[in-house]
């Protein structure tokens, strides 16, 4: 299945059916009068978050979704049937934007979540509805309310606990395959990864979801290379694993490039908890490894792990740090919820 994380679709709700103008005329029945029924309500356009999807590829082949129109009212007090709803099924993490691709309409974060994007038009009243003591033969009915339509953007942001970032060939896909059952494409040329990959990592009795995104290069926020569009998939992560290729000469330059692109992208990516790791240390001498680790510690101002995804050297250290970050984030949310309850409580 191909991966598609953005799609533009046209949606249209159903128009309401018109009310009927009708009069009862039956032999041997003494009281006639208006008996026009109401029109049916138009169908809604609903977006629903479902399990089992991880891409928006369905919306590449069908971009127009129209709900059913309400049926017109009829004589003998018959109301029209309601129009059928149309349901857009999307994976967890999908965001819905207006046509400007900036105004957020909905954020689908839980399976089963449903939101009505466009409501169907109400059906019109038939002339039976307008009968009164002073107007016993109304000869008018309401038309149904018109349909609504617009273009929207669907944008998928994967739900992951941690994300892998780094320059092309930093070893991100190798790391993902080493710590999870995911099988991303691995090769010795840049931009092997062309779309994000997800893997479930199990460490001890714990597990979490790890996302690998295509490599960044300098100027990615301006469209260089693959660009920075896939950075949206790690906006929701609690931690970022920043891998540096230890076999390159300028590890400090590689670090600054990625940090600069994260800052240029915005959305708080450069403020997320970072786990910095020098990868491919199995190909370095002890002297080179220590020199590059020292340079990275100086520029980052924090801890730098020495790992090898190929030999699994120290990969567990990275994973346990991610678990620690997840636990800390959950504890913070619990503390905030507890504090909010205590603040709202009154004797």
Question: What total number of domains does the chain contain?
Answer: 2
User: Which residue range(s) make up the domain with 231?
Assistant: 162-337
DSSP code for 29: -
Q: Do 89 and 170 have their domain in common?
A: no
Q: Do 117 and 198 have their domain in common?
A: no
Q: Do 129 and 103 have their domain in common?
A: yes
- What is the spatial distance between Cα 150 and Cα 276, in angstroms, rounded to a whole number? 45
Assess if residue 208 is contained within a domain.
Answer: yes
**Least confident stretch, 18-22, 64-68, 210-214:** 210-214
Q: Of 119, 122, 139, 138, which is closest to residue 39 (Cα–Cα)? A: 122
Identify the three-state secondary structure at position 203. strand
DSSP H/E element including 288: helix 286-300
Q: Do 125 and 209 have their domain in common?
A: no
For residue 212, what is the domain's CATH number? 3.40.50.300
- What is the spatial distance between Cα 101 and Cα 222, in angstroms, rounded to a whole number? 18
- Model pTM score: 0.76
Q: Domain ends where: 123, 156, 189?
A: 156
Cα-based distances in Å from 202 to 8, 176, 180, 185, 199: 36, 12, 7, 21, 10
DSSP letter string, 260-283: HHHHHH-TTGGGSEEEEEEE-GGG
Q: Do 193 and 107 have their domain in common?
A: no
Look up tokens 């199990």; give the residue: 202
Look up tokens 């491919």; give the residue: 280
Q: Do 191 and 149 have their domain in common?
A: no
- Summarize pLDDT for 19-56 with one digit per residue, the tens: 999 998 888 877 788 999 999 999 999 999 998 888 89
- pLDDT for the residue numbered 337: 74
Q: Do 147 and 174 have their domain in common?
A: no
- Summarize pLDDT for 284-316 with one digit per residue, the tens: 888 999 999 999 999 988 898 999 988 989 899
For residue 70, what is the domain's CATH number? 2.70.210.12
Over pLDDT 90: what percentage of the chain? 41
DSSP code for 74: B
Q: Do 219 and 126 have their domain in common?
A: no
């Amino acid at each position: 299945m191909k991966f598609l994380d953005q799609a533009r679709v046209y949606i249209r709700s159903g128009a309401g059916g018109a009310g009927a103008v009708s009069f009862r005329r039956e032999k041997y029945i003494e009281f006639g009068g208006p008996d026009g029924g109401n029109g049916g309500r138009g169908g809604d356009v609903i977006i629903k978050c479902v399990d089992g999807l991880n891409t928006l590829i369905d919306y590449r082949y069908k971009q127009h979704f129209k709900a059913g129109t309400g049926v017109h009212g009829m004589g003998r007090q018959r109301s029209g049937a309601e129009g059928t709803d149309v349901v857009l099924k999307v994976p967890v993490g999908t965001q819905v934007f207006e046509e400007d691709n900036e105004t957020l309409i909905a954020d689908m974060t839980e399976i089963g979540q449903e939101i009505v994007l466009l409501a169907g038009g109400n059906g019109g009243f038939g002339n039976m509805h307008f009968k009164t003591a002073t107007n016993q033969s109304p000869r008018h009915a309401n038309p149904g309310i018109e349909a609504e339509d617009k273009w929207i953007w669907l944008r998928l942001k994967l739900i992951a606990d941690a994300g892998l970032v780094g320059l092309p060939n930093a070893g991100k896909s190798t790391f993902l395959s080493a710590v999870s059952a995911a099988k991303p494409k691995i090769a010795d040329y840049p931009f092997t990864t062309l779309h994000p990959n997800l893997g479930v990592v199990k460490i001890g009795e714990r597990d979490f979801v790890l996302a690998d995104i295509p490599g960044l290069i300098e100027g990615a926020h301006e469209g260089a290379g693959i660009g920075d569009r896939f950075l949206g998939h790690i906006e929701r992560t609690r931690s970022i694993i920043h891998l540096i290729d230890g076999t390159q000469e300028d590890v400090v330059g590689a670090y600054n490039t990625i940090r600069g692109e994260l800052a240029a992208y915005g959305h708080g990516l450069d403020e997320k908890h970072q786990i910095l790791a020098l990868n491919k240390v199995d190909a370095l001498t002890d002297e080179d490894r220590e020199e590059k680790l020292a340079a990275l510690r100086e520029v980052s101002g924090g801890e730098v792990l020495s790992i090898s995804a190929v030999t699994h050297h120290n990969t567990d250290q990275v994973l346990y740090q991610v678990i620690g970050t997840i636990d800390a984030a959950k504890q913070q949310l619990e503390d905030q919820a507890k504090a909010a309850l205590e603040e709202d409580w009154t004797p």
